[in-house]
Amino acid sequence: MTILKVASDSKPASVAGALLAALEKEDEVALQAIGAGAVNQAIKAIASARNFITSDEVDLITIPAFVDVEIDGENRTAMRLIVETREKEQSIEEDVELEKVEEDTKEPDNLEII
């Protein structure tokens, strides 16, 4: 599995491009970040990568995990975001629209029959 290291000054669009390029070669790729700023950039990169995908049939899923890493002889805890592709079952937009239709057609609880 390829591990892409993300820093707080990483550009999300660049990380997203590297992520998608790696996913073309492998089933899963990890983004690894240490610190809140780096994790923020990694999450934004995953969101951007979803927008870059041209297929309507593929989406990205992310599995977060903590990992211990050694940097300059010091143990640190990193966030590892494992990213995989999956077939889309139904988009979020379709889910939201379906819920709205269900709410609009739902009978009120206080309906009085005359």
Identify the pLDDT of residue 58: 85
Question: What is the three-state SS of 64-106?
Answer: EEEEEEEECCEEEEEEEEEEEEEECCCCHHHHHHHHHHHHHHC
pLDDT in tens, 37-55: 999 999 999 999 998 887 7
Domains annotated on the chain, with CATH: 2-105 (3.30.110.20)
Q: What is the pLDDT averaged over residues 51-69?
A: 89
Amino acid 36: pLDDT: 96
- The average pLDDT across 1-20 equals 96
Flag whether pLDDT at 72 surpasses 60: yes
111: its two tokens: 């309906």
- Phi, then psi, of 42 in degrees rounded to 5: -65, -45
Q: Which residues 6+ apart lie within 8 Å of 109 measured at CB?
A: none
* Identity of the amino acid at 55: S
Position 101 scores a pLDDT of: 61
More confident position, 7 or 113: 7
Give dist(CA 27, CA 12) in Å, integer: 21
pTM of the model as a whole:
0.74
Mean pLDDT in residue range 57-73? 93
C-alpha span between 84 and 26 (Å, rounded): 9
Cβ neighbours for 68, distance < 8 A, ≥ 6 positions apart: 75, 76, 77, 78
